[in-house]
Amino acid sequence: MKNINKHALLFSSILLIALNAQAELSPEDGARIVHPPYRIKPNTPSFAPSGYSPQQMQKAYGLAGITNQGAGQIIGIVDAYDNPNIESDLGVFSSTFNLPACTTANGCFKKIYAAGTQPAGDPGWGTEIALDVEWAHAIAPQAKILLVEAADASFNSLIQAINVAIQNGATVVSMSWGGSEFSGQNQIDPTFNVPGVTFTASSGDWGTGVIYPSSSPYVIAVGGTTLNLDSSGNWLSETAWTGSGGGVSAYETVPSYQSGLPIPNNPNNMRGVPDVSYNADPNTGVSVYDTYGQGGWMVVGGTSAGAPQWAAIIAIVKSVSQHSLTGLNASLYTLGKQHYSQMYHDITSGTNGSCGYYCTAQVGYDYVTGLGSPVTTNLVPLLSGTSGGGGGGGGNRIPM
């Protein structure tokens, strides 16, 4: 018992140090405004869902056969401003798609104001909140959803909201927002280096280029694809989405887990973005119900759609393993080197710009779609340590 208490005390001390290590940003950097990278498909009916459904996405990425759905985990959704209708809209979304109810009353849903008082409402961010909350629940319906609303869209306010999410037990934190990189961003990185907590972030919707916080080495950066399904809802093909953010960071040095990646003309050895990818094209977007920002049903894409869904996948991984699984960023690569074709759909076509190599999907890792999109049937047991694994074999290793 003494040893167990020692380990618990050590973990608590590390966590407190991480939470108290507030980023000492300059007034200019702290006030920087970030944006939610989502795209709405135009001319879609508001009275009925017309995008991909939760069941289609679960089947496409291999989640339909996974019985564990995130039980025991808390997905922290961090966004700016307030969506006053989110709980009722989540109720409509859940009942429409036969998902379990997720409410304050049953303990599944909780909303917290990071600054202690209700933020002003913002219809644009309201749509982002609806997308994030509904689709985190769609992919991991047994996980709890903790929505933390920042007072505004500045880095200072969003960092505060992230810390509040961690203090309230979030085991995974989704950040569907970002802004241009800047020289002071390294001071924010410790915010995402918290034992037992995994962070996901959108890589951006403006094509080639890197945004923060997706470029932090402690964050899983999620790029975008165009996902095509057959008439039965099975994964048919996937290409790089033209809007997917990606490239080489100007300020973050390459983390050890990315060593060995093909980065030509990179003498300073900087981090590559994204790490992974997910359906993001609004033309193949998902159904979202939002009565505050948009007035009903819509079809939404963008890398904002991928960050909460990857967060939900990570919640399932953690639920299966029943361990904190610190360092999953690295595991995506280290296990991928042995089991690449088992864990990922390799996206090998499509571009997000006209800059040649860095803007073009490649065999293996690339700077548009990262390692690829998830094959969760294999990715979940491999990441959670519940699979016997095996050595990989011909064609499974990441082509370097």
Q: Check 202, 203, 277, 304 and give the catalytic one.
A: 304
Distance CA 158, CA 237 (A): 36
Phi, psi of 102 (to 5 degrees): -130, 100
Return the closest-CA partner of residue 273 out of 354, 385, 361, 366.
Answer: 366
Cβ pair 221, 53 in contact under 8 A: no
Q: Which of 128, 134, 238, 366 is labelled catalytic? A: 128
- Considering the candidates 29, 79, 87, 132, report the single residue annotated as catalytic: 132
Residue 129 sits at φ, ψ, to 5 deg, of -60, -45
The strand pairing partners of 290, in sequence order, are: 296
Round the CA-based radius of gyration of the chain to a whole number and report it: 19
With a CB cutoff of 8 Å and minimum separation 6, the contacts of 48 are: 297
DSSP letter at 358?
A: G
- Burial status of residue 164 (CB atoms within 10 A of its CB: 0-12, 13-18, 19 or more): buried
Task: Tell me how far apart the alpha carbons of residues 63 and 54 are, in angstroms, rounded to a whole number.
Answer: 10
Helix (H, G, I), strand (E, B) or coil at 195: coil
Let me know if 79 is a catalytic residue.
Answer: no
- Our answer to whether residue 89 is catalytic in this structure is no
CB-based contact 155:85 (threshold 8 Å): no
HSE-up (13 A, CA, CB side) for residue 388: 1
> What does residue 250 show for φ and ψ, rounded to 5 degrees?
-85, -15
Catalytic residues: 128, 132, 304
